[in-house]
Structure 1
Amino acid sequence: MTAPNIYDALRESHEIQRTVFRKLLRSKAGSQARIALFTQARHELAAHEAAEERYLYAPMMMHDMGLATSRHALHEHHQVDELVEHLQALDPAGDAWIEQARALSHEVHHHLREEERKFFQVSGKLLTDTQKVKLAGHYRRDYRRMHRLLTAE
Structure 2
Amino acid sequence: MTIFEALKADHETQRTLATQLTNTSGDTARRKAVFDQLKKELAVHADAEERFFYKPLISNDMSQDLSRHGIAEHHEMDELVEDLEETDMSSAGWLVTAKKLEEKIFHHLEDEEQQFFQIAGKVFNNNQKEDLSTKYLAYVKENR
1:80 aligns with 2:77: yes
Unaligned runs of 5+ in 2: none
Shift of 1:30: 4.8
Residue of structure 1 equivalent to 2:129? 132
Residue of structure 2 equivalent to 1:102? 99
Identity %: 38
Question: Matched residue of 2:59: which SS?
Answer: coil
TM-score, normalised to structure 1, is: 0.92
1:22 aligns with 2:19: yes
Residue of structure 2 equivalent to 1:52? 49
Distance 2:11 2:26 in 1: 25
Residue of structure 1 equivalent to 2:142? 145
**Deviation >4 Å, runs of 4+:** none
Q: Deviations over 1:9-60 (max 9, x none)?
A: 0011000001111111111235211000000000000010000000000000
Question: Matched residue of 2:62: which SS?
Answer: helix
Unaligned runs of 5+ in 1: 148-153
Match of 2:88 among 88, 91, 116: 91
Q: How many pairs are equivalent?
A: 144
Distance 1:129 1:135 in 2: 10
Distance 2:20 2:27 in 1: 14
